[in-house]
Structure 1
């Protein structure tokens, strides 16, 4: 009997949230939803030091501590009311936020509140080929299951196991699944994905989140996943946007087919475009048609064929002009050389002049007569019809 009396106060002590004196023994039960803001009410004023403590599970944790209207920073995990109601607000409540909370005023417990969270339920309607994303709502290991819609006696089948933000999925989802910021993303959804996805905590088997997916008919041009858009204009296909597209009409760089002739003073061109939307699997998910007016600058423009033709023609013309210039230069040098060279006497049919050492020869009147003789003792030499007298040596 003594043993039983000894253990009874111990069990009572473990059941009490606090050993301090409380002004109220009322225990308030608060309920909330995962990933939402939960408020723990405490309709009692406090003009002293306000403190919120999470008493269970052990060990106790101080959530907020406020003195003279100033609260200590606890990672912005909570907000405390200080004027007539010292409520505690918990943003984005998670599984670890469940438990027993105590509101203290000057180290005296004035509120006891237990918090219980339920699964977050949501729905989504997406087009075929779009992406589905929903939160895991936990940093701990979780499991993702799927129950197909429209099938009788359908069961929850395991789709993925996520540990450390790394998804390990079955073959059907392995190529199109990823996890970013504790959010799982399934790309390129099809009709077979229509149903309910459930996120379950692997340690506690608690349901954290459910997502009901409905596939909408048709295709959606407002994409939030990477796309590859091409458009066809005048029989030619051009690449367009590569990346996330949020506009109703994809913005594409317009390429127009230039005719094989000169374009002069042409202001606009009307082009009919046919867009083809492709997903990451290079599958068509939709089409779009429109007509646009392309402004053409008021300048001379040439087609590619004409540009190539003019380039080759200019090159050949340049070579031809260089050849003409070289021929003219050679001809000019040849004429100039002939004009500057003295004439050769042999080329005129005469004899070369004999060298002389005396004074220059003097012509007399006898030179006019071929038969005349000089009066001095010089020598007379006849050359053709003229005679030159050399002085005697």
Structure 2
């Protein structure tokens, strides 16, 4: 009987734990967040960060509610109705984590606040550096998933713990970290998705979708590259204009040549006519005698 009673107590404890569990709250950066907790409490209700139970954020009792720290608040009317929710007016990355609601030092609710991850599109030229913001001071790891058809590698490439950096051998000479992770001398083989996530909770903080644009020198050797239709049209029109100008010049030269020949012929005829005009006296050999 004692064994059954112990098992029953454990079952009741598990049911109690499940019924008071609250799903994670996910919000966008700088949005307001409400950490829900619906329990009756006629005494003092306090919210705190889970790992700092004495660091009170807001509290309520039968007379009023108080914001102990700026940016955290409770509503007294809701408290009287059994709604003990905490509102965070502006959620940022420093406010991520677990929060605990207590009634007269008895734990009622634990709620996990998560910030929706950033999604950044990056286009970069070959040879440049890719900069990945770490965003948080927590220990983070960088996961890489290639989108390059010729390079299907994926997996963890680096771990950053404040100023300490550990990377896979192929990245050691290319990576440095100050306030961000810098990957130098990128090539098209570095195309892919880079995910920053915390080591402890494995919470995604930031994802980068990276496209390294192709080397421009490839354009000179790519004989199969398609020529845009507009370029073809402009080329044909340019060639037609040039041919037209050449033909016009040839015609003008021919006309000038014909005019010169006609003028020379007219002058020759005029000279011949003047040599045989009727009014001109001609002397015969007999006149000289």
TM-score (norm 2): 0.50
Indicate the structure with greater strand content: 1
Indicate the structure with greater helix content: 2
Query: Bigger radius of gyration, 1 or 2?
Result: 1
